Structure 1
Amino acid sequence: MTAVTAGRLAGWIAASLVLVVVPAGAQVIGTGLSSNTLNGAAPYGSPIRDNRVYIHGILNQFEGRSGDGNYFRWDGEAWAGDDWNRIWLKSEGRDNADRRGRVSDGDQELLYDRPISRYFDVQAGLRYDLDNGTSRTWAALGIQGLAIDFWNVEATVYASDRGDYALRTNAYYDLYLMQRLILQPQFETNWYTKKDQGRGVGAGLSDIDTGLRLRYDITRKFAPYVGVAYQRFLGGTENLTRAQGGRPNDVRFLFGIRLWY
């Protein structure tokens, strides 16, 4: 092989390596190759504008609770928007099958959501209590996100059209026992500044609702579960619950499905 032939072969090999290793459209300094992707910006190129609108919905609780009488409970949320601005819809309540289908604990919220840090969003909007009880309208302001050890937490303050104030906190955690088997502890509290006979709540800490659910992810979007739930009414709410024939301590077995879109 002559020196000229060897030189040409080395040149072809070098050019082939450049074409294979360098991504299409990239700019390589000193090669003469140009690009309209990186435009020479360091280290990762020019920012990509992404204003696409996404839609997501999840039913965390869609369950029947069995004990001294049975009832059905739901708790879900959905949002639409981009990475910075979203509209949230939250809904929860229960259908008391043992009371001729009367709906109670109905809570519907329409909120504007915007991130304030890497792990937390601030939310503001309206809450409307819609069920068989006296309806109430509230202004809402709260935060929602991931706390230490990846607990999903939320805390919201409400101000009603009657001059009352309320606070709701909720936290849950997904403990992966296996890739598809998840144990989820959950803890919720409700607080009110004034007694509200129409809603059946008293001043102070009104109730605690806790649960322990074991679910199996058949798919990420469909997961049946079983578990146990405990609800405890306190203070003035306990007295109103007793007066209406309810139980201040309520332990129930539950079964349901978790869905998301």
Structure 2
Amino acid sequence: MNPRHTLLGACALAMLLAGSAAWAQSAGAMDHSGMPGMDHGAMGHGPAPAPAMDHSGMDHGAMNHGAAPPAGAPPVGSLPASDGEGERGYDSYGIHPHMMDNARTWQVLFDKFGVARNRDGQNSLEWDGRFWFGTPTDRLLIKTEGERESGGGSDGKVEAFWSHAVSPFWDLQLGARRDVGTGPKRNWAAIGIEGALPYNIELETTAYAGPSGRTALALKAEYDLLLTQRLIFTPELEASLYGKNDPERGIGSGLSQGSLSLRLRYEVTREFAPYIGVSFERKFGQTARYAADAGASRSQTAVMAGVRYWF
């Protein structure tokens, strides 16, 4: 036999075998399981591909692919990253980042500090701030809120609490309140709860009891809607209820007043954010009658501008 023909034939046979093996492996259509006597290892095809794994019966939770969120936690991503106590400092599972170290720390936060101008052309200075010192579970908490009008009138309150975390989302608060500003000063014992509802709606509810059988209830709720990473829209609702009339301070029993504010802030940094907004306030019942007798309006609309900051 001609050696050239033998060499060409061997090359052709090798190319044919290699092409057949590649085709069988890629197509996966040939089933050799029913062909006895075939030794794939001896044919030089290499080890057979591993069979496909059936994952239907596997417990992925046991494989530590990621810890499941705590029971009752809001959906992942529903809470923004911590940027101060105003957002309560929880991660996406609602766990406070300092819960483990219990170190003492402090913070000053002014959610509102600016001016407002109502439809009567009067200006006023408004503030809503807090200071706390302590651990994530037990703190001294001081709150202050109020306004001072350009005409000289003012209204405000200062509160001091022992704040104790009863869950990752809620703090129980025990303390006292003092009303300041125009009219006689009033002192109250206070008990309240403050925390974050699902989807990071922040809620404060405080009940008060004072001398001469006075009682009161204050409610506040707000929500931060992130329009961008720096632009944040915050609607806020407040309501006050009293158990009896207090003519000297112009307060009537029942639902005394309610307000809605809409603020848009831009975070130059996480600690410093100018805002603009509008507020609507309405007095009800006997409180509205006291205001009318004093020549004041029962409802008021104002535009506001200021800065939110913390350190």
TM-score range, shorter chain: 0.7 to 0.9
Which is strand-richer, 1 or 2?
1
- Aligned: 1:52 with 2:103: yes
User: What is residue 88 of structure 1 aligned with on the other side?
Assistant: 141
Letter in 2 for 1:111: F
Q: In the alignment, what sits opposite 1:127?
A: 177
Q: Match for 1:95: what amino acid?
A: R
Structure 2 matches for 1:1-261, cutoff 5 A? 50-67=101-118, 68=120, 69-97=122-150, 99=151, 101-104=152-155, 106-261=156-311
Judged with a 3 Å threshold, the aligned counterparts in structure 2 of structure 1 residues 49 and 173 are, in CA distance, closer, same or farther, namely closer
For 1:118, the aligned partner's letter is P
Per-residue deviation at 1:171? Answer: 0.5
- SS of 2:289 mapped into structure 1: helix
1:142-184 alpha-carbon deviations (Å, 9 max, x no partner): 0001012110110000001221110000000100000000000
Corresponding residue for residue 27 of structure 1: none
Could you tell me which residue of structure 2 aligns to residue 41 of structure 1?
Answer: none
How far did residue 50 of structure 1 move?
3.0
Alpha-carbon separation, structure 1, partners of 2:100 and 2:116: 47
Cα offset, 1:78, TM superposition: 1.2
Partners of 1:92 and 1:118 in 2: CA distance? 26
Tell me if the contact between 2:218 and 2:241 (Cα under 8 Å) persists in the aligned partners. yes
- Equivalent pair of 2:129/2:144 in contact (CA under 8 Å): yes
Secondary structure at 2:221 match in 1 = strand
Runs of 4+, deviation exceeding 4 Å? none
Deviation at 1:51, TM superposition (A): 4.0
**Residue type of the partner of 1:152?**
E
State how far apart, in whole Å, the 2-side matches of 1:240 and 1:252 are: 21
- Deviation track 1:78-104 (CA, whole Å, cap 9, x = no partner) reads 11001221000000111110x2x2222
What TM-score comes out, normalization by structure 2 length? Answer: 0.66
Letter in 2 for 1:223: A
**2:271, 2:309 within 8 Å by CA — same for their partners in 1?**
yes
SS in 2 for 1:220: coil
SS of structure 2 residue aligned to 1:86 = strand
TM-score, structure 1 normalization: 0.79
Q: Which runs of 5+ in 2 are unaligned?
A: 1-98
Using a 3 Å threshold, how does the CA distance of structure 1 residues 49 and 204 change in structure 2: closer, same or farther?
closer
Structure 1: give runs of 5+ residues left out of the alignment.
1-47
Structure possessing the higher radius of gyration over alpha carbons: 2
Residues 192 and 207, structure 2, Cα contact 8 Å, conserved in 1:
yes
Once residues 190 and 196 of structure 1 are traced to their aligned partners in structure 2, the CA distance between those partners, rounded to angstroms, is 13
| 2:258/2:282 contact within 8 Å kept | yes
For the residues of structure 1 that align with 2:292 and 2:198, how far apart are their CA atoms? 38
Contact 2:277-2:303 within 8 A present in 1 as well: yes
Percent identity at matched positions?
37
Question: Which whole-Å deviations, capped at 9, do the CAs of 1:97-135 have from their partners, x for residues lacking one?
Answer: 0x2x2222x110010000111200000000001112110
Q: How big is the alpha-carbon RMSD for the aligned residues of Structure 1 and Structure 2?
A: 1.2
